[in-house]
């Protein structure tokens, strides 16, 4: 009997990924994290409010059905009385006109609703408060997604069952993996022609590198998708319309299917068995029941095991659910899964914070200096993850509270702007609808009204009794945003001073909402330059500004954001700046040397310099006896020299583009006759003048080159046209093909998972020759290439003529590369 048990255990291990020892180590680590998270705020008691809160995000590829699913959730939870539809342009979350016009989600919308409904709650239980973020799927708004991910405690990844796991899905999944966010997957659009639940499940294993746990299987009647069957509870749900849903308990379902659909009944039993086998590899309690050959393992034990197995956010286990949101099928069971399986804030690890270059957990950073207790004067710590201009409330700042309780009208210190502001109230948001509330407790999400300076990514601290923020907390930041470089720009010429002022106000407001939108103004020509993450990003930003501010200006075409670089090290260039600044006389002398940053020396240069906008600036201030008498504040001098150097790099000498990949070594001359009564303006002006002089010298010697953004491009298209597309990329666009992959799930790499051991129920047309079946097996290939962004600006439209519209394309910034040959002459 012992030998049999050991053999059974071994067979189960082969189905999964990891050994018992690894599982136990992960379990202990999760237990440790749960224990430590309960101590945040100095208490071990988890309030019922915290236990009943879910901070959830929806992530997916564009057009996978995120907004449609969200609309159904709002409808079933009672927030709305009608069902919004993307195609009809009447959705609640996409309330911006351009979102409705294009049928895409542009900015993240935060929605709060309760589930289950009170009438459906078991005795002694209450509905869960679900804060849900509907994020964009388009790659131009990747920053919007990445800003929201760190504040989430769980996520629902939606997959289009016709297209499977697409390239951008893999990217946002990777981002969620980086932040260790527990996830479940919802296979949507199963009612469409060519939809395949089996293919989707296999691709989840192969593309997302996790073990799929099929928790629901589709209910097919011939080729019609009519409902879903919950494998855990053994119940079936069948829909006739949005409100006409029939629930079949285990006994009813068995009786009905035994007479009408024996294959489906057998598939339910197989699915539950394979679910148990898969869970046994990650949960000891299920393993014990499995080895005891218990045929009636309770659903509560399986649910607890699923919840535990995804709680660490390592992505090893991926619960899979099925549905068609457009036809309302599966949305309510998905909402049940969110409440049942995704964690509450108390079950998540403590937030990571940064003070300068040091990272630590929030509770460690909040401890009083020299003591082991959290500073009781800190009332709350919150992170601003989104700022935008609400149609009714004006500018509001979405926040998540990580410590304490944030009360309305409490003065908040912004650790990024180093300013204090008093909000005018706290709101709870259901997209365009708002509700005033008195406070936000730890783990909750809401929006502050009336903050005038807070930007996306800022951290807010409130102190008890209006006390000053301690010095050790004045620069604390919760996961500050990492903004990728812009790849596209356009120039704007306002008609007159009034229009210029209006444009400046609009750009300041827009960049506050979206830090990935950058802008600058040429003081000599009054021309504005706006930089963004892509053509769509700039189109949307301009549209919003024009709608709100009615700017009277000439907008140029969207172009590639080329940069300039130095090809070789420049000779030292010394500058003496001896002019009044702001009515005060002073003199500063400094010298500058520029050189290109080589890839292998980046880390070394960062040890003594500061990186900004792709350049590294190193400031050297020799401290002689003369210098100590003149320099009152060395740190201030260093900062102003840095600011001046950055300003000098903003416009290159060749085509007035920003400099990139430059190492700038600024040396301050501290001799008595070189440094006389300087102010901060003298230091920054001297450094800027020296950098610009060094760049002009390099240009005269033909030492200035041009670099362009290179995009990592994923194109999925039918195999029949793949050769044409590859030739077009290499010959026409000057790109470089990296990989060509078969996108069928069975062909996937078996780097982590044996695809043959994954359970995936058959599709209804697997054994039927039909038009639907033929469509579903059309072979698609994925072409991965690096292509200059110049060639990709309108490439998606160009591809339509070659693929008859049967392709998908995503791009993300990869690197900057030097422009050479005939392409350099064409710029």
Residues 398-434: pLDDT tens digits?
Answer: 999 999 999 998 999 999 888 999 999 999 876 567 8
User: H helices then E strands: how many in the chain?
Assistant: 25, 39
* Lowest pLDDT segment from 21-25, 158-162, 267-271, 796-800: 21-25
- pLDDT score of 629: 58
- pLDDT score of 122: 84
Task: Give the span between the Cα atoms of 129 and 52, in whole angstroms.
Answer: 6
Q: What is the mean pLDDT of the segment spanning 315-344?
A: 96
Question: Token pair for residue 634?
Answer: 């060395």
Per the prediction, the chain carries an average pLDDT of 84
pLDDT interval class at 135 (50, 70, 90): low
Higher pLDDT, 37 or 57: 57
Query: Which helix (H) or strand (E) is 789 found in, with range?
Result: helix 789-792
Q: Alpha-carbon dihedral of residues 19, 29, 145, 392, nearest 10 degrees? A: 140
The neighbouring-strand residues paired with 809 are 715
Task: Give the span between the Cα atoms of 664 and 631, in whole angstroms.
Answer: 22
pLDDT, tens digit, 9 for 90 and up, residues 217-242: 999 988 889 999 999 999 999 998 76
Q: Please report the beta strands in 597-637, taking only residues with DSSP state E, as ranges in sequence order.
A: 610-612, 615-620
Task: Give the span between the Cα atoms of 62 and 71, in whole angstroms.
Answer: 16
Query: Which helix (H) or strand (E) is 284 found in, with range?
Result: helix 284-291
Task: Give the span between the Cα atoms of 29 and 18, in whole angstroms.
Answer: 15
Question: Token pair for residue 600?
Answer: 């292998």
What is the number of alpha carbons within 13 Å of residue 655 lying toward its C-beta? 16
Cα end-to-end span (Å), the chain:
78
Cα–Cα distances in angstroms (integers) from residue 465 to residues 144, 377, 422, 574, 675, in the given order: 35, 8, 14, 53, 46
Q: What is the mean pLDDT of the segment spanning 583-600?
A: 92
pLDDT, tens digit, 9 for 90 and up, residues 15-43: 443 333 333 333 433 344 344 443 444 34
Within 10 A of 535 (CB to CB), how many other CB atoms are there? 20
Task: Give the span between the Cα atoms of 98 and 102, in whole angstroms.
Answer: 6
Task: Give the span between the Cα atoms of 551 and 81, in whole angstroms.
Answer: 38
Q: What are the φ/ψ torsions at residue 532 (nearest 5 degrees)?
A: -150, -175
* Lowest pLDDT segment from 75-89, 111-125, 213-227, 609-623: 75-89
Max Cα-Cα span within the chain: 101
Question: Token pair for residue 119?
Answer: 């009438």
Domains of the chain from N-terminus onward: 2-37+48-347 (3.40.50.300), 352-363+376-478 (2.40.30.10), 488-560 (3.30.70.870), 568-702 (3.30.230.10), 706-761+771-826 (3.30.70.240)
pLDDT interval class at 779 (50, 70, 90): confident
Burial of residue 785, with CB atoms counted within 10 A of its CB: 0-12 exposed, 13-18 middle, 19 or more buried: buried
Instruction: Note the residue count of the chain.
Output: 827
Does the structure show a pLDDT above 60 at 203?
Answer: yes
Q: What global pTM score does this model have?
A: 0.77
């Amino acid at each position: 009997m012992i030998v049999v048990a050991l053999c059974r255990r071994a067979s189960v291990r082969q189905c999964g990924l990891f050994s018992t020892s690894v599982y136990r180590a992960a379990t202990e680590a999760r237990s440790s994290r749960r224990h430590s998270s309960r101590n945040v705020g100095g208490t071990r008691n988890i309030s019922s409010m915290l236990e009943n809160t879910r901070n959830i995000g929806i992530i997916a590829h564009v057009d996978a059905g995120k907004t449609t699913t969200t609309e159904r959730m709002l409808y079933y939870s009672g927030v709305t009385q009608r069902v919004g539809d993307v195609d009809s342009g009447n959705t609640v979350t996409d309330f911006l006109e351009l979102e409705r016009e294009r049928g895409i989600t542009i900015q993240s919308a935060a929605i709060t609703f309760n589930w289950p409904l009170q009438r459906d709650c078991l005795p002694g239980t209450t509905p869960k408060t679900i804060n849900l973020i509907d994020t964009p799927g388009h790659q131009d708004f990747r920053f919007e997604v990445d800003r929201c991910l760190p504040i989430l405690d769980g996520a629902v990844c939606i997959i289009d069952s016709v297209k499977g796991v697409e390239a951008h899905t893999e990217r946002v999944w990777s981002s969620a993996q980086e932040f260790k966010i527990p996830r479940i997957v919802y296979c949507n659009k199963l009612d469409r022609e060519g939809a395949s639940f089996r293919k989707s499940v296999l691709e989840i294993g192969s593309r997302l590198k996790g073990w799929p746990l099929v928790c629901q299987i589709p209910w097919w009647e011939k080729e019609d998708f009519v409902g879903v069957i919950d494998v855990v509870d053994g119940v079936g749900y069948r829909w006739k319309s949005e409100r006409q849903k029939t629930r079949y308990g285990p006994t009813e379902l068995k009786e009905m299917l035994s007479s009408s659909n024996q294959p489906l009944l057998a598939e339910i039993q197989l699915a539950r068995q394979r679910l148990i086998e898969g869970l046994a590899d990650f949960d000891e309690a299920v393993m014990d029941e499995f080895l005891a050959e218990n045929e009636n393992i309770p659903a509560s034990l399986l649910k607890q095991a699923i919840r535990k197995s995804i709680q660490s956010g390592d992505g090893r286990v991926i619960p899979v659910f099925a549905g068609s949101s457009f036809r309302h099928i599966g949305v309510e069971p998905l909402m049940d899964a969110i409440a049942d399986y995704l964690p509450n804030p108390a079950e998540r690890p403590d937030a990571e914070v940064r003070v300068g270059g040091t990272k630590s957990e929030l509770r460690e950073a909040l401890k009083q200096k020299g003591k082991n207790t959290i500073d009781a004067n800190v009332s709350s710590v919150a992170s601003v993850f989104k700022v935008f201009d609400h149609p009714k409330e004006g500018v509001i700042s979405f926040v998540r509270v990580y410590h304490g309780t944030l009360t309305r009208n409490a003065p908040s210190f912004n650790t990024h702007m180093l300013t204090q502001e008093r909000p005018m109230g706290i709101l709870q948001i259901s997209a365009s609808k708002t509700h005033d509330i008195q406070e936000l407790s730890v783990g909750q999400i809401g929006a502050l009204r009336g903050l005038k300076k807070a930007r996306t990514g800022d951290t807010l601290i409130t102190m008890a009794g209006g006390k000053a923020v301690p010095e050790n907390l004045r620069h604390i930041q919760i996961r500050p945003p990492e903004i990728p470089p812009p790849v596209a720009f356009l120039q704007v010429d306002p008609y007159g001073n009034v229009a210029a002022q209006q444009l400046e106000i609009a750009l300041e407001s827009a960049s506050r909402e979206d830090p990935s939108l950058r802008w600058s103004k040429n003081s000599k020509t009054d021309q504005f330059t706006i930089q963004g993450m892509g053509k769509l990003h700039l189109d949307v930003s301009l549209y919003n500004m024009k709608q709100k501010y009615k700017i009277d200006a000439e907008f140029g075409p969207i172009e590639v954001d080329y940069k300039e670089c130095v090809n070789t090290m420049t000779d030292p260039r010394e500058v003496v700046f001896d002019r009044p600044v702001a009515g005060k006389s002073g003199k500063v002398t400094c010298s500058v040397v520029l050189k290109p940053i080589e890839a292998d020396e980046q880390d070394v240069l960062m040890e003594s310099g500061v990186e900004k906008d792709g350049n590294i600036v190193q400031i050297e201030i020799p401290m002689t006896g003369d210098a100590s008498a003149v320099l009152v504040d060395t740190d201030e001098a260093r900062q102003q020299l840095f600011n001046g150097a950055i300003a000098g790099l903003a416009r290159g000498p060749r085509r007035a583009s920003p400099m990139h990949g430059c190492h700038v070594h600024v040396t301050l001359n501290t001799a008595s006759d070189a440094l006389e009564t300087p102010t901060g303006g003298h230091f920054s002006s001297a450094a800027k003048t020296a950098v610009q002089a060094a760049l002009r010298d390099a240009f005269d010697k033909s030492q200035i080159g041009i670099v362009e953004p290179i995009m990592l491009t994923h194109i999925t298209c039918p195999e029949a046209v793949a050769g044409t597309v590859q030739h077009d990329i290499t010959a026409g666009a000057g790109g470089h093909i990296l990989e060509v992959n078969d996108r069928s799930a069975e062909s996937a790499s078996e780097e982590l998972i044996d695809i043959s051991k994954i359970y995936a129920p058959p599709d209804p047309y697997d054994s039927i020759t039909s038009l639907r079946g033929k469509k579903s097996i059309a072979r698609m290939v994925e072409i991965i290439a690096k292509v200059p962004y110049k060639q990709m600006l309108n490439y998606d439209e160009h591809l339509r003529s070659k693929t008859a519209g049967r392709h998908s394309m995503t791009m993300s910034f990869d690197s900057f590369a030097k422009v050479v040959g005939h392409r350099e002459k064409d710029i």
